[in-house]
Amino acid sequence: MKPYVEVFPNLIAKFGLQQATAIATHMVKEWGMSEKVGLRTIEDQSKSLVAVNDLGPQTNELIDAEINRLLNQSYERAKAILKSHAKEHKALAEALMMYETLDAEDVKAILDGKPPQIPPKNPPKVLPSPQTTNKSGGGHGQTPPGKKTLQPC
């Protein structure tokens, strides 16, 4: 069975964006975390029987712009973090493919460039390399008898 993320990547992104939007909205409207909107709480009228918007159009536009600014700022920050740690992410992804589960000590070891202290559940396949003949006798391109080389999975 494929992992959920591979089957429904757009659904995962949608839920992530919904969560991020909800948090940004709370930050601006309820927690006073916007300098432009200010330290105030703006009541959510959407849950009442009759939705009444006491805010003017400029205030609504300001709130929307601040929510959008927070989302864009967070998106750019996340992209920068992912790019700056791409090598570590790749090492962890490869280790997870090989070991399946990692604890905190394993993650620390991998990030330090060391192998984890657990046996791999999915070790790389070791296949004998094709024997090539070199008529010059120089040994280039030949694998000594009994030696094996790692091949990609």
What's the half-sphere exposure (Cβ side, CA atoms, 13 Å) at 149? Answer: 10
pLDDT for residue 83: 95
* Reported confidence tier of residue 29, pLDDT bands at 50, 70, 90: very high
Angle between helices 57-84 and 86-99 (to 10 degrees): 70
pLDDT for residue 66: 96
* Reported confidence tier of residue 139, pLDDT bands at 50, 70, 90: very low
Rounded to two decimals, the pTM is 0.60
pLDDT digits (tens, 9 = 90+) for 32-75: 999 999 888 887 766 656 656 778 889 999 999 999 999 999 99
Contact predicate 91/84, CB 8 Å: no
pLDDT digits (tens, 9 = 90+) for 75-126: 999 999 999 999 999 999 999 998 888 999 999 999 999 888 887 777 666 6
In this model, does residue 153 exceed pLDDT 70? no
76's CB contacts (< 8 A; 6+ apart) are: none
